[in-house]
Chain A
Amino acid sequence: MTETQTQPQENPLLEGLGMRRTPESCALVIFGASGDLTRRKIFPALYALAYRRLLPERFAVVGTARSEWSDHEFRDRMEHAVREFGRDDFKQEVWDWLADATQYHPMDFADESKADELVSVLNRVDEERGTRGNRVYYLAVPPPAMPTIAKRLGKRRSTKGWTRIIVEKPFGHDLASARQLTKLLSRYFAEEEVFRIDHYLGKETVQNMLALRFANGIFEPIWNRQFVDHIQITVAETIGIESRAEFYEKAGAIRDIFQNHMLQLVALTAMEPPIDFTADSVRNEKVKVLKAMYTPGPKHVVRGQYGPGFVEGKEAPGYRDEEGVGPSSTTETYVAAKLFVDNWRWADTPIYVRTGKRLARRETTIAIQFKRAPHPPFEDSAIKELQPNSLLVHVQPDEGVSLAIGAKVPGQGMGIRTVHMDFMYGGAFRMELPDAYERLILDAMLGDQTLFTRSDEVEEQWAIVDAIVAAWARDRPAFPNYAAGTWGPVSADELIQRDGREWLTH
């Protein structure tokens, strides 16, 4: 008896076996295979999936880039990458299986004949490895290279099997370019075939936001303007721009983080309960939040750029001193904003967001700050250290959730102090959290778009960003305005202090 392909809808033996997340046979084609993303994220993720036997038996990886590497050299580099960046112990048999499925073809897609060559390669892969014409194209390339690749792939779609195309962020540079890219992709690919990656959505703790809100009866009734004073979302990095000056100079913090990760976190925090957990239900609710957001006026947005300073005890150069950055660069490395979602649930409830590089600490946190107890029946001295309740969702590091509550200090008097009740992923679930890319690559192979952004979401995000950037164009900022290793410019503190509030330090 030969092994046959699983048919989840009909096979009665699959129930309870958790096998439905094994994708159909397919070939994963990585464009930009010689790049950092492939080395640091994509291959370690593929190894982790192979380690857990989540990849299909009939599977192939075809790497392509301009670097003139041989198959052997590519596999060798990827083995080193897996050893360096993989989260699992290195098992030779797992790697051998993945390496056997992997090949590399140097190609410059600017040359149209190379696209035909790739088609021949993939047809041969189908015959040799039984991948049945099913293709996942992963565009791990800079934005300018995307249209050419997408166009050439689109013209040469496989007539057998299915096609999916994964597009890395940033999706466009502004609303116009995003629309242009969407238009180009839609000429060759259906929306159901386009997987726009925002890797934050693949993080366990981001998905836990949905579990926290919609699997617990206690939070949703108070998750609104009646009980919530305000929300703070922080995406703080301690690193600088590493070797990404060329990209970052054009993008800045607003396109690198705010347009995608930050607005996705806002949407997940503020969205209404979806009717189910299908891709369109979740994305419909997220897009409603984005549509309901006011475009923040100039007084509600702060930008900054780091100067020299000390980060975690080490001297750090200013942004303008980074390699590849001009001495008078006005690119922002920090953005803070006060946002409003103008709907029934959140009217008049500010959402303060901030993101930046070279900040005091690496953390991504969503803080829901509740309103104060209306009339604590204690003396003022008893509650002087008492803060309002806040629910902190730690996206990274220290993944988990904390609830700040007031508790009596033991003793004769009635002193009350704020303490934290902690749920930590590492404490309750003693397992390594999967990397976001594992989840997202697997979902793309399975055709599940729930954790990918839809074109209308991306466009709403760009509309907000374009309005902010347009306002910035009117004046020249006085940069640098914060020292590396601090929490950003003074004007960001003033932004929230004007409302009688403070940024939370967790």
Chain B
Amino acid sequence: LTATHVHAEQWSGEDVGVGDVVMALCRLREASAHETEGPDMRTSVMTHLAWVPPEWEEAAVETLAGLGERHPSRGILLFPQPEADDGIDANISVLAFPLREQRRHIAAEVIELRLRGRTCEAPASIVNPLLVPAIPVFLRWRGRPGFGEQHAEQLVEVCDRLIVDSREWPDVPQAYAQLPFDRAACSDIAWRRTEPWRRSLARLWPGIAELEKLRVQGPIAEASLLAGWLRSRLDREVVLEHDEAEELTAVDVDGDACPVPKERPTSSDLLSGELDEFSRDRVYEAAARAAATF
């Protein structure tokens, strides 16, 4: 839970049904009313859905903690445990965040569901009753989505925007070809990480117009996306030379160093930035398609 919320109501249960979760949410919101002038306001701008395989659990919870105050919506975290016995375990929190100059609070709901056994195969049937109606659904997929697999396809159908971090994928740049651009708006945190560098590169216009060779020191995902972006935007072949590194640290344009940007966004900042976007990012789509051919 986050350091900035003022109070939290919690409920948990094992082997629960979705109806139990809905009822528990209602009770928790009513319970939050006792300290303030009325129930905490639920000012939802989205449902934030996350598919979190075990190896990503710690990182996901950490990022969510940084997000709670900025995007106080309904968050549904799905932790798949396909090897366990069938069933659903739930842990629900209603967090109250203060409103400036007011006694009232706003409520953020976090629903953590452990999907055990065969329930992993039908996540949409579990998630659909829990979505806040008539507002967008953002699906954050930790790790590499198994595009074409039943659970992944179901959740892509449910969401309006799919958020991935292709740095977490073992098979970039080829995997970019599988992104479901035709079914959901897609965004990529690796792409967001390149933004400060893209700004720096954009400032080199028009000198960069005849670019031939891009050298990038950083993860392959960001390197491929930067090269794909330049290829698609400049509409010309761009050769990518890549030196592996944990972070994007240097970009050379035909042998000249691009000014290093000062911005260093946190992982919460990066996801938050993606959650602020509601429409298709066609510049990213073109960059990813171009990157897939490297």
A contact set with B: CB distance below 8 Å: 1-4, 6-7, 10-17, 19, 53, 397-398, 422-424, 426-431
Task: Return chain B residues, CB-CB under 8 Å to A422.
Answer: 41
B 191-226 contacts with A by CB, 8 A: 195, 198-199, 201-208
**29 sample A-B contacts, Cβ–Cβ < 8 Å, listed by A number:** A1-B258, A4-B206, A4-B207, A6-B202, A6-B203, A10-B206, A11-B206, A12-B205, A12-B234, A12-B235, A13-B198, A13-B201, A13-B233, A14-B205, A15-B283, A16-B283, A17-B195, A17-B198, A53-B263, A398-B101, A422-B41, A424-B43, A424-B99, A424-B106, A426-B99, A426-B102, A427-B41, A430-B69, A430-B71
Shortest beta-carbon distance, A7 to chain B, in Å?
A: 7
Are B101 and A423 touching (Cβ within 8 A)?
no
Shortest beta-carbon distance, A199 to chain B, in Å?
A: 20
- Give Cα distance in the complex from A121 to B203, angstroms: 29
Task: Return chain B residues, CB-CB under 8 Å to A428.
Answer: 43, 45
- Give Cα distance in the complex from A429 to B284, angstroms: 25
Are B43 and A423 touching (Cβ within 8 A)?
yes
Task: Return chain A residues, CB-CB under 8 Å to B19.
Answer: none
- Give Cα distance in the complex from A424 to B103, angstroms: 13
Contact with A along B28-70 (1 / 0, CB 8 A): 0000000000000101010000000000000000000000011
When C-beta atoms are compared, the residue in chain A nearest to B259 turns out to be: A3
Are B70 and A431 touching (Cβ within 8 A)?
yes
Contact with A along B250-266 (1 / 0, CB 8 A): 00011010110001000
Q: Count of chain B residues with Cβ under 8 Å from any Cβ of A?
A: 39
Are A426 and B45 touching (Cβ within 8 A)?
no
- Give Cα distance in the complex from A426 to B72, angstroms: 11
Contact A4/B71 with A12-B233, A424-B43, A426-B100 known, Cβ cut-off 8 Å:
no
B 260-283 contacts with A by CB, 8 A: 263, 281-283
Are A6 and B205 touching (Cβ within 8 A)?
yes
Shortest beta-carbon distance, B232 to chain A, in Å?
A: 9
Are A17 and B199 touching (Cβ within 8 A)?
yes
- Give Cα distance in the complex from A7 to B205, angstroms: 8
- Give Cα distance in the complex from A308 to B202, angstroms: 61
When C-beta atoms are compared, the residue in chain B nearest to A3 turns out to be: B203
Known: A17-B202, A19-B202. 19 other contacts (CB 8 A): A1-B208, A4-B204, A4-B206, A4-B207, A7-B205, A12-B233, A12-B234, A12-B235, A13-B202, A13-B205, A13-B229, A13-B230, A16-B284, A398-B101, A426-B106, A427-B43, A429-B45, A430-B70, A430-B72
When C-beta atoms are compared, the residue in chain A nearest to B203 turns out to be: A3
- Give Cα distance in the complex from A14 to B202, angstroms: 6
Task: Return chain B residues, CB-CB under 8 Å to A13.
Answer: 198, 201-202, 205, 208, 229-230, 233-234
Are A427 and B202 touching (Cβ within 8 A)?
no
Task: Return chain A residues, CB-CB under 8 Å to B235.
Answer: 12
Shortest beta-carbon distance, A432 to chain B, in Å?
A: 9
- Give Cα distance in the complex from A427 to B70, angstroms: 9
Q: Which 10 A-B pairs have the closest CB atoms?
A: A427-B43, A13-B202, A16-B283, A1-B256, A11-B205, A427-B106, A428-B43, A430-B70, A12-B233, A426-B99
- Give Cα distance in the complex from A424 to B106, angstroms: 10
Q: Which of B43, B101, B102, B259 counts the most chain A CB atoms within 10 A?
A: B43
When C-beta atoms are compared, the residue in chain A nearest to B40 turns out to be: A427
Are A398 and B102 touching (Cβ within 8 A)?
yes
Task: Return chain B residues, CB-CB under 8 Å to A397.
Answer: 101
Shortest beta-carbon distance, A396 to chain B, in Å?
A: 10
- Give Cα distance in the complex from A26 to B45, angstroms: 39
Any chain A CB within 8 A of the CB of B97? Answer: yes
Task: Return chain A residues, CB-CB under 8 Å to B106.
Answer: 424, 426-427
- Give Cα distance in the complex from A397 to B230, angstroms: 46
- Give Cα distance in the complex from A60 to B102, angstroms: 39
Task: Return chain B residues, CB-CB under 8 Å to A1.
Answer: 204, 207-208, 253-254, 256, 258
Shortest beta-carbon distance, B251 to chain A, in Å?
A: 11
Candidates B69, B97, B199; contact of A19 at CB < 8 Å: B199
- Give Cα distance in the complex from A397 to B72, angstroms: 21
- Give Cα distance in the complex from A1 to B212, angstroms: 14
Shortest beta-carbon distance, A246 to chain B, in Å?
A: 32
Task: Return chain B residues, CB-CB under 8 Å to A53.
Answer: 263
Shortest beta-carbon distance, B94 to chain A, in Å?
A: 14
B 92-147 contacts with A by CB, 8 A: 97, 99-102, 106
- Give Cα distance in the complex from A254 to B117, angstroms: 72
When C-beta atoms are compared, the residue in chain A nearest to B252 turns out to be: A1
Are A3 and B41 touching (Cβ within 8 A)?
no
- Give Cα distance in the complex from A11 to B206, angstroms: 7
Task: Return chain B residues, CB-CB under 8 Å to A3.
Answer: 203-204, 259
Task: Return chain B residues, CB-CB under 8 Å to A7.
Answer: 205-206
- Give Cα distance in the complex from A302 to B107, angstroms: 44
- Give Cα distance in the complex from A429 to B207, angstroms: 39
Contact with A along B172-203 (1 / 0, CB 8 A): 00000000000000000000000100110111
Shortest beta-carbon distance, B286 to chain A, in Å?
A: 10
- Give Cα distance in the complex from A397 to B260, angstroms: 41
Task: Return chain B residues, CB-CB under 8 Å to A16.
Answer: 281-284
When C-beta atoms are compared, the residue in chain A nearest to B261 turns out to be: A53
- Give Cα distance in the complex from A482 to B234, angstroms: 68
When C-beta atoms are compared, the residue in chain B nearest to A419 turns out to be: B38
Task: Return chain B residues, CB-CB under 8 Å to A431.
Answer: 70
Task: Return chain B residues, CB-CB under 8 Å to A423.
Answer: 43
Task: Return chain B residues, CB-CB under 8 Å to A398.
Answer: 101-102
When C-beta atoms are compared, the residue in chain B nearest to A2 turns out to be: B207
Task: Return chain B residues, CB-CB under 8 Å to A17.
Answer: 195, 198-199, 202
- Give Cα distance in the complex from A2 to B202, angstroms: 12
Shortest beta-carbon distance, A18 to chain B, in Å?
A: 9
Are A11 and B202 touching (Cβ within 8 A)?
yes
Shortest beta-carbon distance, B40 to chain A, in Å?
A: 9
- Give Cα distance in the complex from A430 to B263, angstroms: 21
When C-beta atoms are compared, the residue in chain B nearest to A1 turns out to be: B256
Shortest beta-carbon distance, A49 to chain B, in Å?
A: 15
Q: Which of B199, B202, B205, B258 counts the most chain A CB atoms within 10 A?
A: B205
Are A427 and B206 touching (Cβ within 8 A)?
no
When C-beta atoms are compared, the residue in chain B nearest to A399 turns out to be: B100
Task: Return chain A residues, CB-CB under 8 Å to B70.
Answer: 430-431
Task: Return chain A residues, CB-CB under 8 Å to B199.
Answer: 17, 19
B 71-94 contacts with A by CB, 8 A: 71-72
- Give Cα distance in the complex from A424 to B41, angstroms: 9
Are B100 and A4 touching (Cβ within 8 A)?
no
Contact A427/B99 with A12-B233, A17-B195 known, Cβ cut-off 8 Å:
yes
When C-beta atoms are compared, the residue in chain B nearest to A57 turns out to be: B203
Task: Return chain A residues, CB-CB under 8 Å to B203.
Answer: 3-4, 6
When C-beta atoms are compared, the residue in chain A nearest to B207 turns out to be: A1
- Give Cα distance in the complex from A16 to B283, angstroms: 7
Task: Return chain A residues, CB-CB under 8 Å to B204.
Answer: 1, 3-4
Shortest beta-carbon distance, B284 to chain A, in Å?
A: 8
Shortest beta-carbon distance, A419 to chain B, in Å?
A: 10
- Give Cα distance in the complex from A11 to B97, angstroms: 42
Task: Return chain B residues, CB-CB under 8 Å to A14.
Answer: 202, 205
Shortest beta-carbon distance, A213 to chain B, in Å?
A: 20
When C-beta atoms are compared, the residue in chain B nearest to A12 turns out to be: B233
Shortest beta-carbon distance, A220 to chain B, in Å?
A: 20
